[in-house]
Amino acid sequence: MEKLLTLWYGSGLYNLTLGQGVMVLVGLGLLYLAIAKKFEPLLLVPIGFGGILANIPEAGLALSAAEQAAHLARPGVLEQMAAALGVALDPVAGIEAWRGTLSDALHGDLSPTLVRAANDVAMDVGYANGVLYQFYNVAIASGIAPLVIFMGVGAMTDFGPLLANPRTLFLGAAAQFGIFATLLGAVGMSAMGWMDFSLNQAAAIGIIGGADGPTSIYVASILAPELLGAIAVASYSYMALVPLIQPPIMKALTTKREREIAMTQLRPVSKLEKIVFPLSLLILVVLFLPDAAPLLGMFCFGNLMRECGVVERLSDTAQNALINIVTIFLGLSVGSKLMADRFLAFETLGILALGMVAFAIGTACGVLMAKLMNTVSRMPINPLIGSAGVSAVPMAARVSNKIGLESNPHNFLLMHAMGPNVAGVIGSAVAAGVMIKFLG
Amino acid sequence: MSANILMGEGLALMALGMSFVFVFLTVLVIVTTLMSKTIGRFFPEPPAPVATGNRRPPAPRQDDDVMVAITAAVHRYRRRHRR
């Protein structure tokens, strides 16, 4: 009978908290969106599955050794850990209260040295870091995974349309207004007392408006790691929702005649220009914004491998095998941040709402900028390509093309929209660099 | 009071950030345009004309060969069948 009870106390059903149950459902929901609705499946499948793994009761896949020990270890070990952390344990309170105190201390803002000491104590008695926790440390906390993905994106990007019409870079710049407007929105919400975001957290939330998954994960891992789960989920789900969010805004801001504007054929771009472009971008980054160097440096490197034409094998690996491998680990690591006690907070709702606003404002600013450029310049510019200034390559460009075809069946905007689209990638990386410069 | 400071910092960051993004991309536009012009002037695209130049000659040459072969064959056939 006693053995049966032990089995029961060790079961997931006995230990499942309400929050964990909800988060398992959230994970299943993400899987549903990815598999049945095809929303960014490459990322939402690993993220959703990682979220479920992270919320398995007692397994502690997403916990460090110290956190697991605080939850499971004998009283003697707890005392040792408390000594290492410099926390006082109330002798009368009983062991459950001790566990609570230690967990709070580990989640609080103690110095990393103390936390490391507690981790060593836990490892000495045989506790190990959970596997998702390890993935997170290697892939995201070190900053590697988003950067390697950015290199792969660089290797997939064709700058031809941008080089043929460099002025589309302005559209990419205008669409970044969504980032900064959202930052202001997050700060405003805290000022009104609705939420409690610091300036760093507000900046990390704003980057969602850049519509660039790796960039927002990179910035969040530096400025606000505690919000990373919500930010990553928000940015990837909105990237998937681009075809739903953008069209109403684009149609509201343009007249039918503007949507029918046909653009002139792009000039052919020589191979040499394509090789020199990533290098000149890199030099500008070096000169003006070294803080964007990790992101844009990897991006330029990937693009140079693609265009130089002598390292086809490396370029092929960067845009296929490597990016796929890293995507698996990135997705699982983001999933590890979907733990109930941190994700199920009022702030998460705020982040999801702000992310949506960021997208909408970015789209609107891109379209308005394109209208402005159309009135100023001699060459006609269809305002629909402005919305592609939020990155989300190549989804946003496809949306521009589709809306353009609806108004004028002979108007193919796809290539014209790819220019602002890749400009948006550069723009959001620059905005990320500015944020890291001021707040990092 | 701290709320106001927070708002102020947010506004400052927005103004600074947005203007920096614009300045950076404007410089990028200028550099890119200059780069394209320079390359267009000093290294005018050899590959494209070469590619089309290579492609065109073979087609007629091939046609000639084929025509020669066909005429020869037809000629021979007719000669044989006359006899």
Domain contains A5: no
Same domain for B34 and B54, yes or no, is no
| Same domain assignment for residues B7 and B30 | yes
Chain B residues touching residue A272 (CB < 8 angstroms): 39, 43
3-state secondary structure A196-235: CCCHHHHHHHHHHHHCCHHHHHHHHHHHCHHHHHHHHHHH
* B29 interface with A at CB cutoff 8 Å: yes
Each residue of B21-58: b (16+ CB within 10 Å) or e?
A: bbebbeebbebbeebbeebeeeeeeeeeeeeeeeeeee
Q: Are residues A221 and A103 in the same domain?
A: no
A335 and A390 fall within a common domain: yes
Q: How far is CA A352 from the centre of its chain?
A: 13
Whether A89 and A154 map to the same domain: the answer is no
ipTM above 0.95, yes or no: no
Q: Which three-class secondary structure state does DSSP give residue A270? A: coil
Q: Which of A121, A70, A124 is nearest to A98 (CA)?
A: A70
Are A193 and B3 a contacting pair at CB < 8 A? yes
Tokens read off for A73? 């270890």
The answer to whether A430 contacts B29, with C-beta atoms less than 8 Å apart, is: no
Cα–Cα dist A195/A180, whole Å = 18
How many structural domains is chain A composed of? 2
Nearest CA in chain A to B29: A166
Let me know whether A131 and A153 are in one domain.
no
A228 and A165: one domain?
yes
Residue A410 is classified by DSSP as T
B51 touches A at CB < 8 Å: no
CA dist., res. B54 & res. B64, Å (int):
17
Which residues 6+ apart lie within 8 Å of A89 measured at CB? A78, A79, A82, A98, A101, A102
Residues B1, B34 share a domain: yes
- Rounded to an integer, what distance in angstroms lies between the CA atom of residue B54 and that of residue B68? 22
Q: Which of A273, A284, A439 sits opposite B28 (nearest CB)?
A: A284
- d(CA A235, CA A48) in angstroms, rounded, equals 14
My answer on whether A117 and A150 are in the same domain is no
Check pLDDT > 50 for residue B51: no
Which chain A residues touch B8 with a CB distance below 8 Å?
Answer: none
Which residues of chain A neighbour B37 with C-beta distances below 8 Å? Answer: none
The encoded tokens of residue A3 equal 């053995």
CB A203 within 8 A of CB A172: no
Give the one of A172, A277, A434 whose C-beta lies nearest to B32's C-beta: A277
pLDDT at B61: 56
Judgement on whether residues B5 and B26 belong to the same structural domain of the protein: yes
Residues A341-364: b if buried by 16+ CB within 10 A, e if exposed: ebbbbebbebbbebbbbbbbbbbb
Supply A61's token pair: 């896949």
- Cα dist. A98→A80, A82, A351 in Å? 12, 9, 33
Specify the higher pLDDT residue, B11 or A86: B11
Do B55 and B40 reside in the same domain of the chain?
no
Q: Which of A299, A434, A435, A436 to mutate to test the interface with B (most CBs of B within 10 A)?
A: A434
Q: Are residues B68 and B37 in the same domain?
A: no
Query: Where among A85, A109, A137 does a domain terminate?
Result: A137
Q: Which one of B2, B21, B52 makes the best mutation probe of the A interface by having the most chain A beta carbons within 10 Å?
A: B21
* A425–chain B nearest CA distance, Å: 12
Q: Tell me how far apart the alpha carbons of residues A417 and A5 are, in angstroms, rounded to a whole number.
A: 64
Residue B56 has pLDDT above 60, yes or no: no
- What's the first-to-final CA gap in chain B, in angstroms? 115
Q: Is the separation of the CB atoms in A266 and A413 below 8 Å? A: no
A200 & A283 share domain: yes
Asked if A167 and A285 sit in the same domain, the reply is yes
Question: Do A164 and A133 sit in the same domain of this protein?
Answer: no
Residue A176 and residue B18: Cβ atoms within 8 Å?
Answer: yes
Which pLDDT value is given to residue B53? 46
* Separation of alpha carbons A205 and A208, rounded Å: 6
Is the distance from CB of A163 to CB of A268 less than 8 angstroms? no
Axis-axis angle for helices A395-407, A414-439 (nearest 10): 140
Q: Which domain holds residue B18?
A: 1-44
Task: Let me know: does A279 contact A300? Beta carbons within 8 Å.
Answer: yes
B25 and A276 in contact by Cβ < 8 A? no
Give the CA angle between residues A399, A400, A405 to the nearest 5°: 100
Q: What is the pLDDT of residue B77?
A: 86
- Which residue is it, tokens 């929050």? A19
Same domain, B34 and B53: no
Instruction: Enter the tokens of residue B33.
Output: 């345009």
Structural domain boundaries, residue A246: 142-439
Residue A7 lies in a domain: no
B73 near A CB under 8 A: no
Report how far residue A424's alpha carbon sits from residue A385's, in angstroms, rounded to the nearest whole number. 12
**Is the Cβ pair B7, A163 closer than 8 Å?**
no
Are B76 and B37 found together in one domain? no
pLDDT tier at B46, thresholds 50, 70, 90: low
- Percent of chain B predicted with pLDDT > 90: 35
Size of interface A-B (CB pairs under 8 A): 112
Spell out the per-residue pLDDT of chain A, length 440, in tens: 888 888 888 888 888 889 999 999 999 999 999 999 888 888 889 999 999 999 998 888 988 888 888 888 888 888 888 888 888 888 888 888 888 888 888 877 778 888 888 888 889 988 899 999 999 999 998 989 999 999 999 999 999 999 999 999 999 999 999 999 999 999 998 888 888 889 999 999 999 988 888 999 999 999 998 899 899 888 888 888 888 899 999 999 999 998 988 888 888 999 999 999 999 999 999 999 999 999 999 999 999 999 999 999 999 999 999 999 999 999 999 999 898 888 888 888 889 999 898 889 999 999 999 999 999 988 889 999 999 998 888 889 999 999 999 998 988 999 999 999 999 999 999 999 999 999 98
Domain count, chain B: 2
Q: Which two tokens stand for residue B3?
A: 């709320």
Residues B40, B2 share a domain: yes
Q: pTM, whole model, 2 decimals?
A: 0.86
Is residue A9 included in any domain, yes or no?
Answer: no
Residue A69 shares a structural domain with residue A158: no
The distance of A266 to chain B (nearest Cα, Å) reads 14
Q: What is the pLDDT of residue B59?
A: 53
Residue A100 covered by a domain: yes
A12 part of a folded domain: no
Same structural domain, A200 and A95? no
The answer, for B43 touching chain A at a CB cutoff of 8 Å, is yes
Of A296, A328, A239, the residue nearest A428 (C-alpha): A296
B50 in contact with A, Cβ within 8 Å: no
pLDDT-derived band at B45 (thresholds 50, 70, 90) equals: low
Whether B62 and B32 map to the same domain: the answer is no
CB contact under 8 A, A179 and B28: no
Judged by CB atoms closer than 8 Å, whether chains meet at A176 and B11 is answered as no
ω into A394 cis (within 30 of 0): yes
Cβ–Cβ of B31/A284 closer than 8 Å? Answer: yes
Q: Within 13 Å and on the Cβ side, how many CA atoms surround B15?
A: 5
Query: Which pLDDT does position A97 carry in this prediction?
Result: 85
Same domain assignment for residues B30 and B65: no
* B36 and B12 share one domain: yes
Contacting residues for A370 by C-beta, under 8 A, at least 6 apart: A171, A381, A382, A383, A384, A385, A386, A420
C-alpha A401/C-alpha A382 separation (Å) is 11
Euclidean distance between CA atoms A1 and B68, whole angstroms: 99
* Spatial distance between the Cα atoms of A416 and A384, rounded to a whole number of angstroms: 10
Domain membership of residue A167 (yes or no) is: yes
- Cα-Cα-Cα-Cα torsion A284, A289, A290, A294, nearest 10 degrees, comes to -90
Record: contact B10-A280, CB cut-off 8 A: no
Would residue A1 count as lying in a domain? no
- Residue in A closest to B4 by C-alpha: A191
Residue A261 is assigned to a structural domain of this protein: yes
d(CA A121, CA A83): 10
